[in-house]
Chains A and B, each alone.
Chain A
Amino acid sequence: MTTTAPRHVVADRPTDEAAQTRRRRGALIRAVPRWLVTLLAAAIVLPPVAWVLSTSLKRDADTVSFPPRWIPNPFSWAQYEGIYTITNVRFLINSTVLAVGSIVLALVICVPAAYAATRFRSGRTEALMTVVLVLTMVPGIVVFIALYAMLVRTSLINTYPLLIVVYTALISGQAILFLRNFFENIPVEIEEAAAIDGCNRRQILLRVVLPLVRPGIAAIAVFIFVFVWNDFLVSTVLATSEDMKTVQNGIVRYITTGFGNFWGLFAAFVIVSFAPVLAVFVAFQRWFIAGMTSGESRDERDLSSATGRARRRRRSVRVGRVQAARGVPGGRGSCHGDRGRGPASGRPRTSTRSPGSPRRRARAG
């Protein structure tokens, strides 16, 4: 059967090449709307960003001139020097402490919780997960306001631990649900193998499971960082004293002073505070996107695995048949295999036998 020569594949080769160039040109044309959308997005997304960047390099007097100038003339670093104040440094430190603290606390709580919720399935854990889900529905503003009212007269307000706990609580519901999707992807057999080799639960979690869910952990850590760093409301409400405010409060402060709006300083501080987010994002982009997109909700996977698999199987058989019947090369490996095997077995130039039935050829690959 392997010696069956699909003769007309050889015959099709020139047209195949023509088809390839045609396809390449088609791909170029098809890419046009894609780039149009990208350009449109750039036109909508970039102007405010460019504007902030340009303003941060202007002199004070130029920031509110009309008509506005897009290219600062003359360039000036005065705004960046202007925001280098002890309060702003304090804001940056506060935000960093809160972000790092929240990431650590959230991971310490959520990773074991998500693991337990995945591996020890029972009615109780399911109920608990439902409670977690419902509690993530509590509007944030409800929580802050009640916390503020409760704590305003205690010494807990304006402390790092309180703010970290609040941030962690706000994010942990999502984090647990998110991480659970990753744990579900790990086959139990791996853990069983580790257990047979003499690992205890803790070792299994630390040495076997954690390395496997690293992308998920990286993704959620980046997510938490962006969430805490960019948060405005929690620190507005729960950090009442000056030295506990965060970067976002510092930014907004420049235009709500009552002494006028310092657009130049505002813009410079926006740029400075955006730099860490951008740096973290660029550094972890691969993991972040992979984690965000592979940890889809369970329903999606159920759908794709249950109905999708059956459908896919049916379709692929049909695809193979269609391609074979049309003599389309390179489809689902039916002809690649033949070609790769070389003239010795696969493709004698002259063949005495007629090509096998389409069905058989589709299988041959």
Chain B
Amino acid sequence: MVALLVFVIPLGYTVWTATHHTSYYEIGSYSGLDSFSKLFSDGDLGHEVVTTLVFAVGALVVALPVGLVSAVVVNNARRLKRSVRSLFLLPWLMSQATVGTIWFWFLNPNYGPATQLTKALGFGPTNVFSTPTAALVAVTLITAWWSYPQAMLLFLGALQTVPVELKESMRVDGGNAWQTFRNVTLPYIRNAIVSVVVVLLMLYVQMVTIILVTTRGGPLNSTETLAMRTYNEMFVDFNMSGAAATALLLFAINIVLTLVAVRFRRKESL
């Protein structure tokens, strides 16, 4: 319970700084909601919210099905079970910083191996981190690559709650694999899907590290999500009250996401 203080005090402190003038790390006089009005009148904010959404939803759309498919595969694997499982979990065991850097290097237009491949296939070099849209897509895919094992782990747990007898009876009744999956497995893991969506979305909304080591929010702010903006405001622009305001906005988004999810879950279990 002592650990709660580590959250509560900084949260209070963040609110305090958001409502005061700051210069570097000095807290000045009370400013009311100035930093919020500044934040909401900032022309970039809309763009950043869109970026955050594209990033989070995009990564989710990739990671969720991949996680589900790999969980089904791992769950059914008989031979080499451990190796298969380790293979699927490998990206998650690597750190975000490493993953970001490795892919950044892998896609390097001058000497990256991916460039070799695309050149051999007749395309140009993989120059993804210099064009805004491509950079956003790349960062999203890298994040999905790193995070799908988390979805897989959660799905794996849920898949084990599916009673084997039901699957067997489905087979006896002549259902094929897809019908078994749709009518037996899916209803059982519906709740798990909701929780995976929540866990992953929260992860993506707060994602800083992968973006930090690859693009730092560039080029032309195309990959600056809200979390990245918070980091940049704090450690690049030294605008603490601005960072605090953005951080609180981020917190609010997280709370909303969670509440929506909790609502979904309640309905499910009734």
Contact = CB atoms under 8 A, between A and B. Distances in A.
A292 B255 CA distance: 25
Interface string A3-47: 000000000000000000000000000110010011001101111
Interface string B235-270: 100001001100110110011011000000100110
Interface string B162-190: 01011011001100010000000000100
A137 to B, nearest CB: 4
Given A131-B4, A138-B251, A139-B250, A230 B94 contact: yes
Interface stretch (B30-38, B53-61, B111-119): B111-119
Main secondary structure of the interface of A (DSSP, over half): helix
Nearest to A70: B113
A65 B13 contact: no
B6 interface: yes
B41 to A, nearest CB: 22
Nearest to A237: B235
A230 B98 CA distance: 9
A109 B2 contact: yes
Interface string B65-90: 00001100100111000101111111
B121 interface: no
B73 A37 contact: yes
A117 B137 CA distance: 43
Interface in B206-254: 206, 208-209, 212-213, 227, 230-231, 234-235, 240, 243-244, 247-248, 250-251, 254
A312 B250 contact: no
A41 B115 CA distance: 21
Nearest to B230: A141
Nearest to B75: A293
Size band of the A side of the interface? 35 or more
Contact of B169 (A146, A270, A296, A315): A315
A295 interface: yes
Nearest to A51: B113
Contact of A38 (B87, B103, B106): B87
B94 A274 contact: yes
Contacts of B46: none
Contact of A141 (B3, B95, B208): B208
A175 B255 CA distance: 20
A184 interface: no
B88 A41 contact: yes
A299 interface: yes
Nearest to B114: A47
Nearest to A42: B87
A348 B246 CA distance: 81
Interface in B106-140: 106, 110-113, 115-116
A37 B70 contact: yes
Contacts of A153: 25
B51 interface: no
Interface string B1-44: 11110111111011001000000010000000000000000000
Interface string A288-326: 010011111101111110001001100110110011001
Interface string A101-143: 0000000010001000000000000001001111101111111
A232 interface: yes
Nearest to B248: A142
B153 interface: yes
Nearest to A254: B101
Contacts of A147: 6, 10
B205 interface: yes
Contact of B102 (A135, A166, A270): A270
A145 B243 contact: yes
Contacts of A265: none
A168 interface: yes
B188 A308 contact: yes
B93 interface: yes
Contacts of B168: 319, 331
B101 A255 contact: yes
Contacts of B163: 304, 308, 312
Contacts of B3: 109, 165, 168-169, 172
B157 A67 contact: no
Nearest to B107: A48
A51 B102 contact: yes
A132 B172 CA distance: 46
B195 interface: yes
A49 B146 CA distance: 12
Interface in A216-238: 226, 229-233, 237
A67 B116 contact: yes
A188 interface: no
A139 B87 contact: no
Q: Most chain-A Cβ atoms within 10 A of its Cβ — which of B70, B110, B160, B161?
A: B161
Contacts of B213: 232, 252
A300 B158 contact: yes
Interface of B: 1-4, 6-11, 13-14, 17, 25, 69-70, 73, 76-78, 82, 84-91, 93-99, 101-103, 105-106, 110-113, 115-116, 145, 153, 156-158, 160-161, 163, 165-166, 168-169, 172-173, 177, 188, 191-192, 195, 202, 205-206, 208-209, 212-213, 227, 230-231, 234-235, 240, 243-244, 247-248, 250-251, 254-255, 257-258, 265, 268-269
Which 8 interchain pairs have the tightest Cβ spacing? Answer: A230-B95, A146-B10, A169-B6, A293-B157, A232-B97, A142-B247, A319-B169, A169-B3
